[in-house]
Amino acid sequence: MSSCLVPRSTRILLMLILALVGSSLTSNLAAETRQSLVTADATVAASERQAVMGISRLGLEANRFTFPVFYTPHEGPTIPVGNWSVRISQEYADAILADNLSFIIPARYDRLVFENSQARFETATQVFSGLDVRQVIPELSQATRSYAEYREYLLDHLNHHIAPSMEEILGAAAEARYQEMNARERGTFITERARQTGMPAEVLEALISSSYAFGFYLPELRGRINIRQIERKRFDGSTYYVYQTTLAAPLKTRMLVYAFDGEQFTTQIELDAVPDGFFEGLSQQMSASASITTAWLPRERHAQQIFDDVFELSFKDSTIALSTRLKENRAFAVATPVIDATPEEIGLKVGNQEDIRVDQPFTFNRTIDGKETTIGWGRVRLAGNTCLILPEEERIASRAQLISGQVDEFDLAVEHPWTGVYGRTAFTQSMTELEIDGQATGAGNASFIELGFISNLGFLLNNRSFSEIWTNLDLGLGLLSNGEGNFDNLDGKGAIRVRFGAEKRFHMGYGLYASAGADLGYEQHNYAKPGGPSGLKDDFKVQTANLIPRAEIGYYINPNLKIYGGAAYNLPFYTDYEWDNGDSMTEDLSMMGGLSVQAGIAFHLGFAGPFASMMARPSTECEVLRDARLEAQAAEQAE
Amino acid sequence: MNLTIAIEREKQKMNTKFLAILFLAALLSACASTPESTTRPSDPPLSRQATLVESYSANEVMIRAVGLGNSMAEARDDARKAAIWFALMGGTNSLLTNAEQREAFRDHEAEFWANAMRYISHEGDLLSRRQEAGQDRIERAFRVNIANLKADLAARNIISDSRELAEAIANPVISVIARNPEGNDRHAASVFSEYLQDRGFEVVVLDATQRVDEIVQQAAALEGNIDPMYMLALQTGSDIYISIDSEVAERRVAGNRVAQSTVNATAYYTATGSQLGASSGYSAERAIAGGAALTGEAANDAADKVLGQLTRSWQREVQRGKAFKVVVNASPEIGDISRNLHQLFNDVCNRVRRNAAGSTSFDYTLNCDGPRDAMDLLILLEDNYIGPGQVFRVLDSGAFLIIRIGDSDTDSIIIE
């Protein structure tokens, strides 16, 4: 087995330090230690690095999954056609886990890796390798288990094989970790005059008695396979059929957080990547779906290829979701006091070392009458370079913009758990109009209910150039107005609209923003009018491709919820139309451009869903820099 | 025409009203957006909450203080003042030790508060930040420069300058004696020495292994005190001596050595051998190599406490007069001179205590206003002695005087 532990000063450590420091100053300070007197209390204390071990084996409930298969022939009803099975090998599952582990265990943590009879401890500035654990750590079993069995099995493994050597291993790195702590002693005799680190024993004891192990488990997958027969036309007008096979099987990965208290591990947190609500479900479905199109009717063996695609992306989405949920626990969220409260340039001493991305929201908290209260929030515009391997004077703090509320120097900025993705629903009234032979018909005004997703590209790509550029994907279902005057026998029916675009937002304070952007949209309008192929009133459809420049004003109620309204102009640049039976129409139809107005509400989603594939990996800049410096130091010493 | 004028007047009135409303609105808006400042720089601190973190050096102490205010800026200023307030009046070693000094300070305090930054040599990071009942409350650690504070207090005659004190009753000599010169005691003694010198005392650093003169041993033995450090102090002529010992306790935690140092210091008047202060200083328990830094940390802690006690006692000493230990050896042939001696001492000094006496040996502790050292006292005694024989000097050393009374001068004395 190889398991990797990634440390960062632990929750217990944080709690200890906060407890030591937390009490107010009064004349009765006998219980306070010197360490507690020179370190910050919970109201302004920056979070500390924690020690975490990521167990690199993905527990499996089953290694063979069976999905029902449904077949939908062209213009025919969907029918069940049996079950297909796919397999997952432990090696493949572990490889996918290892590939995505950095989303959950980025450089903000110190890492411990156990291999055979040795351990390696990586802090932000040091790597301690070849630490003897005095026993060969047995490999974790590949047997499939229920969740409860796996949780106990892992706990037992940790307590029997890892816990006995933890104290010593944590002790070996304690000095290095102390030097990376925010709460280290400064300005005192020991640090200034004696020029010693002088790690207090109470901090050492906390460091060696606190760390975490992260385990992952994949419950049995549930999903379905749909095979759809699709008719296509060749250039000569002849038709042929292709088969689109789609597998939708969202991974509801579970995460176990075991806490080490100095003696043993206990299960502390259990998380799962189960969607909360319709939009999250829809979002997760989108990352958990893959399809292939074949010219032949697929067989069971083709399902494996689709499954592998689904598994990779859906697992990534589930790790993003788990990482976000983990940050809801304060012990795993980054916190730092505000060092500069200029609303457009709020200074925060966190950055790439803590995996802070562009546009990451932070809430600004203040302890008011004994209770921590959020008084404002903002988004990071410049993710700082805070690699601890750099000398303090070379580090660059992050800069954030106040979005809503207020902020003052030394308010506590707390990382807000965020995926950068919102679901949204809106009502849109589009004032487009259908023209027939150059005459306005009065039909074509569409009233849409839209469902969509919108994501922050700056955050997803972790790229400053894309800060506050949002990309959206919306689906609208609507009703059309009827014809008027000479066209009063023209009936407007349903409409469908899909649009994809981007916008740039400009925040104006008080939670308000304005945005400008454009979409590319596809709309299909269905109408009925006399003179059709049947000689009676027949249905026909008008399909248009539109360029939709738009502007929007929105208001954030909180970082997770906003309302917005806007106006857009539909500019059709391609129109196609035909009777529903496929016959061409003799008239000349076109859609006129028109204004549309929209009002909606958007809410944060815990899954990146359709945008999961775009999510850039956490920065490894600090680790690369650390390794390069350590190598250079080793080379210097060798000389 | 009249109508036009009336309209114009009405317009002017309207404009005036509009401007007045605008001005009022602007004023109200300004009042609403700017926190009302209720304190002036020269005001005393609102907060009186602070605690001593450590004695950083002979001249600086680190104090964690609470600041209160209607804004962060006010709270920050208030915390500085609270730290200074603590140094002045708050701790056990406060600079203003009595009601008179505090009363005198009141006349000058505005100046001190307004110039708070003059006494802050280092401000640490903010350690706490809260809002309570609409008021900002912060905590911060400050290094307060005690030497600057003292100098300014002395310049305004709020306290006496330690150098002036020294001059008033002769320059006091303090021996700092390390019990174990091989261990960390010597290092601790150096820290004490630094404190004493910075506070205007004359210092001699000794170690307990130094040889003590036989005559001093005899003189000390008369009173029954055979502590070698006491005898060393007598021999050196110090007015006060401080004995220092230190200990470093260590253990191993997860492969790391952790250690804590304790420094014990006891200060005595050499003349009387009576204790004038005692304290122990502790370092934090730390993972650290060696013990010197920890001993330094503990010694700082102990020195600050003991020197506080010493300073207060020294000020009381000024009132009583300088203390001397006087050992007298009388020649057997001149008979009983105990009454003559007692009368002599009562004549030249304002406080006389007989510690021990035999038929020919006498041990006295005297508090005298006039003499600055043992030689001055000897002259006084010679001039004022009435009785058989003469006063001869055997040994004088600071506050320690051995005389012989007899008919002839001889180097040898026998102390019973």
pLDDT(B8) > 60: no
Domain boundaries, chain A: 2-25+32-326, 334-415, 421-604
Q: What is the pLDDT of residue A405?
A: 96
Across B90-201, where does the E strand assignment appear?
120-132, 135-145, 173-178
Judging by DSSP bridges, how do beta strands A211-218 and A224-233 pair with one another?
unpaired
CA distances in angstroms from A334 to A356, A362, A367, A463, listed in the order given: 9, 9, 17, 20
Q: Of B94, B126, B295, B300, which to mutate for an interface test with A (greatest number of A Cβ within 10 Å)?
A: B126
CB atoms A366 and B256 under 8 Å: no
CB atoms A167 and B54 under 8 Å: no
Q: How far apart are CA A280 and CA A451, in angstroms?
A: 12
Average pLDDT (B163-191) is 74
Residues in chain B: 416
Listed in sequence order, the residues at least 6 apart from B182 whose beta carbon sits closer than 8 Å to its beta carbon are none
pLDDT(B374) > 60: yes
Q: Are B271 and B239 in contact (CB under 8 A)?
A: yes
Q: Of A17, A20, A29, A34, which to mutate for an interface test with B (greatest number of B Cβ within 10 Å)?
A: A34
Q: Are B353 and B306 in contact (CB under 8 A)?
A: no
Average pLDDT (B19-39) is 52
CB atoms B285 and A202 under 8 Å: yes
Q: Are A202 and B286 in contact (CB under 8 A)?
A: no
Distance (Å) from the alpha carbon of A57 to chain B's nearest alpha carbon = 29
Q: Which of A229, A224, A410, A420 is nearest to A320 (CA)?
A: A420
CB atoms A38 and B53 under 8 Å: yes
**Size of the A and B interface in Cβ pairs below 8 Å:** 153
Residues of B in contact with A410 (CB under 8 A): 72, 126, 129, 138
Least CB-CB distance to B53: which of A34, A175, A408? A34
Average pLDDT (B396-403) is 84
Q: What is the pLDDT of residue A243?
A: 93
Helix (H) or strand (E) holding B295: helix B292-320
Hey, what amino acid is at A59? G
What one-character DSSP code corresponds to residue A206? Answer: H
pLDDT band at A2 (very low <50, low <70, confident <90, very high): very low
How many helical (H) and strand (E) elements, i.e. helices and strands, does chain B have?
Answer: 12, 15
CB atoms B285 and A201 under 8 Å: yes
Q: Of A25, A191, A195, which to mutate for an interface test with B (greatest number of B Cβ within 10 Å)?
A: A25
Q: What is the pLDDT of residue B221?
A: 67
pLDDT(B11) > 70: no
Mean pLDDT of chain B: 81
Distance of alpha carbon A455 from the chain centroid: 10
Q: In the CATH hierarchy, which fold is given to the domain comprising A334-415?
A: Elongation Factor Tu (Ef-tu); domain 3 (2.40.30)
Q: What is the pLDDT of residue A555?
A: 97
Average pLDDT (B144-152) is 91
Q: What is the token pair recorded at A420?
A: 């950068």
Output the DSSP codes for A66-128.
EEEEEEE-TTS--EEEEEEEEE--HHHHHHHHHHHHHHHS-TTEEEEEEETTEEEEE-SS-EE
Output the DSSP codes for B70-85.
SSHHHHHHHHHHHHHH
Average pLDDT (A363-367) is 96
Q: What is the pLDDT of residue A536?
A: 83
Listed in sequence order, the residues at least 6 apart from A489 whose beta carbon sits closer than 8 Å to its beta carbon are A483, A529, A530, A537
User: What are the backbone angles phi and psi of residue B227, rounded to the nearest 5°?
Assistant: -65, 120
Distance (Å) from the alpha carbon of A564 to chain B's nearest alpha carbon = 29
Average pLDDT (B88-104) is 86
Average pLDDT (B70-74) is 91
pLDDT(A14) > 70: no
Q: What is the pLDDT of residue B1?
A: 40
Distance of alpha carbon A190 from the chain centroid: 44
- pLDDT tens-digit map of A573-589: 999 999 988 888 888 99
Listed in sequence order, the residues at least 6 apart from A117 whose beta carbon sits closer than 8 Å to its beta carbon are A132, A133, A134, A135, A136, A137
Angle at B151 between CA B150 and CA B155, to 5 degrees: 115
Q: How far apart are CA A265 and CA A87, in angstroms?
A: 33
Listed in sequence order, the residues at least 6 apart from A193 whose beta carbon sits closer than 8 Å to its beta carbon are B56, B57, B296
Query: Closest-CA residue in chain B for A166?
Result: B254
Q: What is the pLDDT of residue A333?
A: 95
Rg (CA), chain B: 32
Give start and end residues of each alpha helix (H) in A131-263: 147-157, 163-179, 201-208
Q: What is the token pair recorded at B275?
A: 């204790």
Class of domain B322-406: alpha beta
Helix (H) or strand (E) holding A566: strand A561-579
Q: Which of A510, A505, A542 is nearest to A526 (CA)?
A: A542
Domain boundaries, chain B: 1-34, 50-155, 168-319, 322-406
Say yes or no: domain B168-319 is CATH 3.40.50. yes
Q: What is the token pair recorded at B7?
A: 């309209």
CA distances in angstroms from B272 to A266, A347, B98, B231, B327, listed in the order given: 65, 63, 26, 12, 12
Judging by DSSP bridges, how do beta strands B173-178 and B202-207 pair with one another?
parallel
Query: Would you tell me which residues 150-189 of chain A have a C-beta closer than 8 angstroms to some C-beta of chain B?
Result: 167-168, 170-172, 174-175, 178, 186-189
Q: How far apart are CA A404 and CA A556, in angstroms?
A: 8
For B210, other C-beta atoms within 10 Å of its C-beta total 14
Q: Which of A265, A220, A41 is nearest to B137 (CA)?
A: A41
Class of domain B50-155: alpha beta
User: What are the backbone angles phi and psi of residue A202, rounded to the nearest 5°?
Assistant: -65, -35
Average pLDDT (B362-380) is 87
CB atoms B128 and A34 under 8 Å: no
Q: Which of B291, B255, B290 is nearest to A174 (CA)?
A: B255
CB atoms A37 and B141 under 8 Å: yes
Instruction: Point out the least confidently predicted range of A310-319, A424-433, B210-219.
Output: B210-219
Q: Of B288, B294, B304, which to mutate for an interface test with A (greatest number of A Cβ within 10 Å)?
A: B288
Q: How far apart are CA A496 and CA A519, in angstroms?
A: 15
pLDDT(B237) > 90: no
Q: How far apart are CA A159 and CA A263, in angstroms?
A: 9
3-state SS string over A97-110? Answer: HHHHHHHHCCCCEE
Query: Alpha-carbon torsion A142, A143, A147, A149, what sign?
Result: negative
Cβ–Cβ contact A29 with B under 8 A: yes
Q: Which of A75, A249, A45, A215 is nearest to A147 (CA)?
A: A215
Residues of B in contact with A29 (CB under 8 A): 51
Least CB-CB distance to A366: which of B65, B125, B131? B131
The share of chain B scoring above pLDDT 70, in percent, equals 81
State the residue for tokens 């008369």. B222
Cβ–Cβ contact A368 with B under 8 A: yes
Q: What is the pLDDT of residue B289?
A: 86
User: What are the backbone angles phi and psi of residue A542, rounded to the nearest 5°?
Assistant: -120, 120
Q: How far apart are CA B20 and CA A638, in angstroms?
A: 81
Q: How far apart are CA B68 and CA B47, in angstroms?
A: 6
- pLDDT tens-digit map of A231-260: 998 888 788 999 999 998 899 999 999 999
Judging by DSSP bridges, how do beta strands B120-132 and A361-368 pair with one another?
parallel
Query: Alpha-carbon torsion A310, A312, A318, A320, what sign?
Result: negative
State the residue for tokens 């025409």. B1
B50-155 and B322-406 have identical folds: no
Query: Alpha-carbon torsion B149, B155, B159, B160, what sign?
Result: positive
**Count of alpha carbons within 13 Å of A599, Cβ hemisphere only?**
0
Average pLDDT (B378-403) is 87
B243: exposed, middle or buried (C-beta count within 10 Å: 0-12, 13-18, 19+)?
buried
pLDDT(B312) > 90: no
Give the 3-state secondary structure of residue A347: strand
Q: Of A37, A39, A167, A369, which to mutate for an interface test with B (greatest number of B Cβ within 10 Å)?
A: A37
For A291, other C-beta atoms within 10 Å of its C-beta total 16
Least CB-CB distance to B128: which of A43, A167, A370? A43
Q: Which of B40, B108, B91, B90 is nearest to B69 (CA)?
A: B40
Rg (CA), chain A: 29
Q: What is the token pair recorded at A633?
A: 């130091």
Q: Are A422 and A455 in contact (CB under 8 A)?
A: yes
Residues of A in contact with B293 (CB under 8 A): 190, 194, 196, 198
pLDDT band at A28 (very low <50, low <70, confident <90, very high): very low
pLDDT(B232) > 80: no
Distance (Å) from the alpha carbon of A508 to chain B's nearest alpha carbon = 19
What CATH code is assigned to A421-604? 2.40.160.20
Q: How far apart are CA A351 and CA A358, in angstroms?
A: 9
Q: How far apart are CA B11 and CA B347, in angstroms?
A: 100
Q: How far apart are CA A269 and CA B176, in angstroms?
A: 59
Residues of A in contact with B53 (CB under 8 A): 34, 37-38, 188
- pLDDT tens-digit map of A68-106: 999 999 888 999 999 999 999 999 999 999 999 999 999
